[in-house]
Amino acid sequence: MAERSFAKEVQSLKLGDGAEFKGEGILAVTKALLQSGVSYVGGYQGAPISHLMDVLADAEEILTELDIHFEASASEAAAAAMLAASVNYPLRGAVTWKSTVGTNVASDALASVSSSGVMGGALVIVGEDYGEGSSIMQERTHAFAMKSQMWLLDPRPNLTSITEMVEKGFELSEASSTPVMLELRIRACHVHGSFKAKDNVRPGFKLRDAMENPVRDYDRVVLPPSNFVHEKEKVEQRWPAAIDFIRENKLNEFFGGHTASHGIIVQGGLYNTLMRALAILGLADHYGETDIPIYCLNVTYPLLNGEVAGFCVDKKAVLVVEEGQPEYLEQAICTILRREDISTKVHGKDMLPLAGEYTGQVVCDGVGKFLQTHAPELVETATVIGSSLPEDSQKTLFETVPNRPSGFCTGCPERPVFTAMKLVQRQLGNIHVSCDIGCHLFSILPPFNIGNTTMGYGLGWSGASAFNTETSQRTISIMGDGGFWHNGLTSGVGNAVFNKNDNILVIVDNGYSAATGGQDILSSRAENSSKSTKNPISKAIAGLGIRWQRTVITYDIGAMMRTLTEAMTTPEKGPKVIIAESECMLNRERREKPIRNQRITEGKRIVRARFGVDSDTCTGDHACIRLSGCPSLTIKDNPDPLREDPVAYVNNDCVGCGVCGEVSHAAVLCPSFYRADLVYNPTVWDRFTNRFRGLVIGFLQRRADKRRAKFSFGDL
């Protein structure tokens, strides 16, 4: 199950012409696809477009009614290869994934479809996961767009602009026979708003029409000599056609005044941030009205030489607000102006940071510096919101908010895997651990501090392949089930079998792609009417030749320790795989908690396990916290006035997974953990049993108190 259901929201996708559509950016993108007459859609989940895939999945019935084929692709490369359908046929298709890692995976197919060119419109929607919202390396889509000459749209982050750019993106693609990329930053994906809807369009030329009337055109195949012709087409035909379309349809926008001696050129996706900065400086109102000339690039590649020159020709200086490094736009603008012999001073990375996300404060500082240099009269009269606040209230977040590294969720079944690994390292010494992409990568942070490198999704075992040599120690690699089916089956397991690797792989099997939001994969246990599930990982690796494999329930830390130790010490040579199974607790709670609460409301008897720490027994060592790291396991003041060290404490976030107790048992820690069963809507028998237990415990406690008092009196 996906982490969020859009079953209710997708009904708005049926809205017709003139109706007001309200919702998130990802819903708006889906509606725009339907309005554009798309024939097929594919993609691979990953922030910030995971929810776009979830919306498409929940809207599959609506898509089917419109003869639209939707596919949850096995990887970004598989999604990109779908665009081959648009090479020979007038079929509009769209694919989506997380950038830039997804674009890197899809690069082979994208380069090929860009070389071939397209007949039908081909749109690639990439989640530009950059800056504070990013979980990947800080790179940009822009470089790939330039390399393969694919046009790049960067719409202003409001629903009207986003939907218009989706529709125009298909038209631009068809007008120039070129695939088009549309980037959406994480905030644009989740921005809320409204726009005037249009009727959904059923594709005029359907997929079945292409299948029943196949077309073969050797000139579209990327082989010599056709590929040399493709390169000429890009420059001599496709590029000019794209320029004409962008100019004629006014895809870029001009805002603000027209007479100032200075101006700002901004990426479309940063327009809202820029306007917020100008509002803070008192140079724009909250409706976006300003006297400062602004050239908004909703198309960041290719640039239109005429528009750039026309905007700059009457200005002494312009500021280029371009997020990320290198400064592709700034360099291109400087080249255009020099060739046109325009002497306008171009500022950008000299006044704004070279790298990092351009937040409101960053842009505000950069714009202020630019105006201080070229229009000081504006800065002198500007009213900076918040400038009158006390100095001590303007400290940075870094100074005022304590560091809190990312970590596993409460009850996460992956935490005990790394607890067991830490305990095994106490016995066998430090182990080189090759990590992978997924929730399990949090093991590299405190309190586990396990993991040396991570090379990419499904590349955990490949990242340790160089260490396949004779030694008394073995390496351990980590891989999630999502990464396994994405790339790890061949690049990891297949590579290890082929090269007779003697090291160890731990596959964390959650039952679905937990890290990206709980989407089904081949090994999911859930029933899925449109997908093939219940294909065990154990069978897949056995088919590749893995003879040494073990399956362990992750919550059994003792069994996990024994299995890891066996894998590290066995004299048997060859690749070894441990499948660590347990469902993602976060998704399990999302599914079971509403049902449990409903049954409690209905008066039905429910028993729920909770764990706690006996404050009288706890020594204050806190080894349990260091070996578990569960957010629900924290500390509180010691109730004993003679002891200063705080004691461990399990707060109300506990989901009853039992890992804390398992850790204490496996690590031979103090016996302070206890389990309590919370009974909701108890029966008469429950009440009688509880009362009887209370009487017995009370009787025994009173006897113990008497003996203690007698013993103390004897001492005197």
Give the mean pLDDT of the chain.
90
Rounded CA-CA distance 279/290 in Å is 9
Give the fold, CATH level 3, of 253-389: Rossmann fold (3.40.50)
- Is 60 exceeded by the pLDDT of residue 347? yes
Ordered by start, the domain boundaries in the chain are 9-248, 253-389, 415-587, 605-681, 686-716
Return d(Cα 545, Cα 268) in angstroms, integer: 51
Beta carbons of 417 and 434 less than 8 angstroms apart: no
**Residue 385 pLDDT more than 50?**
no
pLDDT of 391 above 60: no
Give the rounded distance of the alpha carbon of 12 from its chain centre: 25
Q: Report the CATH architecture of 9-248.
A: 3-Layer(aba) Sandwich (3.40)
Q: What is the pLDDT of residue 390?
A: 46
Give the global pTM.
0.88
pLDDT reading at 267 higher than 90: yes
The answer to which of 1-15, 75-89, 187-201 has the lowest mean pLDDT is 1-15
Strand partners, 22: 194
Which residues are registered as beta bridge partners of 78? none
pLDDT digits (tens, 9 = 90+) for 32-73: 999 999 999 999 998 888 889 999 999 999 999 999 999 999
| Spatial CA neighbour of 613 closest among 598, 632, 641 | 632
Q: Which tokens go with 621?
A: 């060592």
Average pLDDT over residues 679-704: 89
Q: In this structure, how many other beta carbons lie within 10 angstroms of the beta carbon of residue 175?
A: 18
**Main-chain dihedrals φ then ψ at residue 312, nearest 5 degrees:** -90, -20
421 vs 448: CA distance, rounded Å: 9
CB 97 within 8 A of CB 76: yes
pLDDT, mean of residues 328-343: 97
What is the average pLDDT across 280-307?
Answer: 94
Residue 384's pLDDT is 53
Dihedral sign from CA coordinates of 561, 564, 566, 568? negative
Burial state string for 365-389 with b = 16 or more CB within 10 A and e = fewer than 16: ebbbbbbeebbeebbeebeeeeeee
Q: What one-character-per-residue DSSP string does 527-567 give? A: --TTS-----HHHHHHHHT--EEEEEETT-HHHHHHHHHHH
- Per-residue pLDDT, averaged over 304-310, amounts to 97
- Name the pLDDT band for 19 (thresholds 50, 70, 90): very high
What pLDDT does 657 receive? 82
Q: How far apart are CA 527 and CA 524, in angstroms?
A: 8
pLDDT at 264: 97
Q: Tokens 């009887």, residue?
A: 692
Is pLDDT larger for residue 716 or for residue 307? 307
Give the model's pLDDT for residue 170. Answer: 98
Please give the structure tokens belonging to residue 65: 């009614």
pLDDT digits (tens, 9 = 90+) for 632-652: 888 888 888 877 888 888 888
CATH topology assigned to domain 605-681: Alpha-Beta Plaits (3.30.70)
The CA-based dihedral angle spanning residues 338, 367, 247, 306, taken in that order and rounded to the nearest 10 degrees: -20
**Residue 563 in this model has a pLDDT that exceeds 50:** yes
Q: Give the residues across from 297 on adjacent strands.
A: 267
pLDDT at 339: 96
Would you say residue 598 has pLDDT above 90?
yes
Q: Which two tokens stand for residue 486?
A: 């994405």
CB distance 511 to 1 below 8 Å: no
Amino acid at 451: G
Class level of CATH domain 415-587: alpha beta
Going from the C-alpha of 113 to that of each of 24, 123, 595, 686, the distances in angstroms are 31, 11, 48, 68
Amino acid at 52: L
Q: Label residue 266 by pLDDT band (50, 70, 90).
A: very high
Q: How confident is the model at residue 710 (pLDDT cuts 50, 70, 90)?
A: low
Tell me the three state secondary structure of residue 356.
coil
- CB atoms under 10 Å from CB of 463, counted, come to 23
686-709 average pLDDT score? 84
Model confidence band, residue 474 (pLDDT cutoffs 50, 70, 90): very high
**Per-residue pLDDT tens digits for 249-264:** 999 999 999 888 999 9
Average the pLDDT over 236-256 and give the result: 97
Question: Residue 481 and residue 554: Cα distance in Å, rounded?
Answer: 14
| Token pair for 320 | 């280029």
Q: What is the pLDDT of residue 403?
A: 67
Q: What is the mean pLDDT of residues 412-438?
A: 92
Residue 392's pLDDT is 52
Categorize the per-residue pLDDT at 136 as very low, low, confident or very high, splitting at 50, 70 and 90: confident
Task: Look at residue 114 and tell me whether its pLDDT is greater than 60.
Answer: yes
* Helix (H), strand (E) at residue 263: strand 262-267
What's the rounded mean pLDDT across residues 512-533? Answer: 84
Q: What 3-state DSSP class applies to 460?
A: coil
**Residue 352 reports pLDDT greater than 90:** yes
Percent of the chain beyond pLDDT 90?
A: 64
**pLDDT exceeds cutoff 90 at 464:** yes
Residues in the chain: 716
299 membership: H or E segment, kind and range: strand 299-301
Give the pLDDT band (50/70/90) at residue 319.
very high
How far is Cα 709 from Cα 704, in angstroms, rounded to an integer? 9
Decide whether 9-248 matches 253-389 in CATH topology. Answer: yes
Dist CA 359 CA 323 (whole Å) = 10
Pick from 320-329, 372-381, 688-697: least confident: 372-381
Using the 8-state DSSP alphabet, how is residue 189 labeled? H
**Longest alpha-carbon distance in the chain:** 105
User: Would you place residue 332 in the very low, low, confident or very high pLDDT band (cuts 50, 70, 90)?
Assistant: very high
The pLDDT of residue 388:
41
413 pLDDT more than 80: yes
Write down the pLDDT at residue 215.
93
